[in-house]
């Protein structure tokens, strides 16, 4: 089976973990600091704060900006649920703006209609590894005095106008979950250029404590371990090369799929660098997606749907009173299909995927 993702560690990660284990210092310490330094250098931010997950990175970012009950945060309904659940955790209300039909990211042209005096921030998601339109989003934020938190959990190394995502907003959040473009198994990172936010995030991550057993504010335990950071340091070194392989695989598929009727390949606007966390096709109306998935499975190809139900239509959100229709997200979620393009997919397997799709659609 050609799996949709593959988690693979080499000698470097194993040796790096062993070194930490043998040292006896396994909790948050020097390796975490080194990982933060190297990650912020790679992204191009002044500071970085490692966390236990992408979800905790988002939650702490919102808290650091003082967002809470009575506030509203504008975001996309077409993402992994963590993007908006992090807003709920703070007591604030996620306000959903429909997506762009071509990029699948938040439609910046619709954002301003949803801004009112409760709105505190915009939280765009760089879905599948494609940046959101950060110039437009930042301009809207500036005009309306809003914060911007980038959900870059799927977009390590993605670029917008030659600048890496995670450097556009007040804060950028990354996930190092096992299937991401780079991993610490579970883990996250917040990037920022703002020293005050950086200091606040470090307090929030560690029970509000700068000095052991002295607690200045209400904080949490969302620390990363040195063991995770040791893996992350090695994975970071491999990120560019692995992203290149993802892009190669994606381009290979897109070239061949251009001749096949009934599907639309991923769209990459000019000046955007897509890092293909996912390679996602849009199926034409009338194509039965479940049938295609079944046929591909029979042909040894694992295809997945990210995400079959937009966030505002999830039971949790309906129970919170969300009733609004967001037609583009609702339509797109019924027609997307992701195929394997991870760095370990071989040329021969790409050919297998192409013939699998051709016969599934014929
Ligand atoms: C877009 C998006 N946001 C947030 C998250 C949450 O990250 P984590 O699973 O590390 O908590 C994920 C990852 O799963 C994600 O894909």
CATH number at residue 301: 3.90.1150.10
Range 297-301 average pLDDT: 98
User: 247 and 196 in contact (C-beta within 8 Å)?
Assistant: no
CA triple 113-119-121, angle to 5 deg: 105
pLDDT value at residue 121 = 99
Its pTM stands at 0.98
Q: Indicate whether 61 and 175 sit together in one domain.
A: yes
* Cα 298–chain centre separation: 30
pLDDT value at residue 244 = 98
Q: Indicate whether 179 and 39 sit together in one domain.
A: yes
Distance 61 CA to ligand 1 centre (A): 14
Distance 109 CA to ligand 1 centre (A): 25
Identify whether 3 is part of a domain.
no
pLDDT value at residue 219 = 98
Ligand 1 contact via 83 beta carbon (within 6 Å): yes
Helices (H) and strands (E) in the chain, counts: 11, 13
Q: For residue 222, give the nearest of 58, 31, 37, 20 by alpha carbon.
A: 58
Q: What is the pLDDT of residues 208-256, one digit of tens each?
A: 999 999 999 999 999 999 999 999 999 999 999 999 999 999 999 999 9
Q: Indicate whether 191 and 263 sit together in one domain.
A: no
Q: Indicate whether 293 and 207 sit together in one domain.
A: no
CATH number at residue 65: 3.40.640.10
Confidence of residue 114 (pLDDT cuts 50, 70, 90): very high
**Cα four-point dihedral sign 45, 47, 52, 58:** negative
Q: Indicate whether 330 and 255 sit together in one domain.
A: yes
Q: CB neighbours (10 Å) of residue 19?
A: 12
pLDDT value at residue 334 = 98
Distance 258 CA to ligand 1 centre (A): 31
pLDDT value at residue 362 = 87
Domain total of the chain: 2
Whole-angstrom distance, CA of residue 352 vs CA of residue 76: 34
Domain that holds residue 138: 11-235
Q: What is the pLDDT of residues 11-56, one digit of tens each?
A: 999 999 999 999 999 999 999 999 999 999 999 999 999 999 999 9
As a whole number, the mean pLDDT across the chain is: 98
Q: Indicate whether 269 and 193 sit together in one domain.
A: no
pLDDT value at residue 19 = 98
pLDDT value at residue 259 = 86
Q: What is the pLDDT of residues 132-180, one digit of tens each?
A: 999 999 999 999 999 999 999 999 999 999 999 999 999 999 999 999 9
Ligand 1 contact via 57 beta carbon (within 6 Å): no
């Amino acid at each position: 089976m050609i799996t949709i993702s593959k988690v693979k560690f080499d000698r470097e990660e194993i040796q790096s973990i062993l070194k930490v284990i043998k040292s006896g210092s396994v909790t948050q310490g020097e390796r975490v600091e080194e990982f933060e330094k190297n990650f912020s250098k790679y992204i191009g931010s002044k500071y970085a704060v490692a966390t236990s997950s992408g979800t905790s990175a988002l939650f702490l970012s919102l808290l650091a900006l003082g967002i809470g009950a009575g506030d509203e945060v504008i975001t996309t309904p077409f993402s992994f649920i963590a993007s908006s659940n992090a807003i709920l955790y703070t007591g604030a209300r996620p306000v959903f703006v429909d997506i762009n039909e071509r990029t699948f990211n938040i439609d910046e042209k619709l954002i301003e209609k949803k801004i009112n005096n409760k709105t505190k921030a915009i939280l765009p998601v760089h879905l599948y590894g494609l940046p959101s339109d950060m110039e437009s989003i930042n301009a809207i934020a500036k005009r309306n005095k809003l914060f911007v938190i980038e959900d870059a959990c799927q977009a390590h190394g993605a670029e917008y106008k030659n600048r890496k995502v995670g450097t556009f907003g007040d804060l950028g959040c990354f996930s190092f979950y096992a299937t991401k473009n780079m991993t610490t198994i579970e883990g996250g990172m917040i990037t920022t250029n703002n020293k005050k936010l950086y200091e606040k995030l470090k307090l929030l991550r560690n029970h509000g404590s700068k000095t052991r057993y002295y607690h200045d504010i209400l904080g949490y335990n969302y620390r990363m371990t040195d063991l995770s950071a040791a893996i992350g340091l090695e994975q970071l070194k491999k990120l560019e090369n692995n992203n290149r392989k993802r892009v190669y695989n994606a381009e290979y598929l897109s070239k061949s799929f251009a001749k096949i009727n009934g599907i639309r390949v991923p769209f990459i606007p000019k000046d955007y660098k897509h890092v293909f966390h996912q390679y996602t096709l849009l199926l034409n109306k009338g194509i039965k997606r479940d049938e295609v998935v079944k046929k591909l499975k029979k042909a040894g190809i694992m295809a997945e749907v990210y995400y079959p139900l937009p966030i505002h239509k999830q039971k949790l959100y309906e129970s919170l009173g969300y009733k609004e229709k967001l037609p583009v997200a609702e339509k797109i979620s019924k027609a997307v299909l992701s195929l394997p393009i991870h760095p370990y997919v071989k040329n021969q397997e790409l050919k297998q995927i192409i013939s699998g799709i051709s016969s599934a659609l014929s």
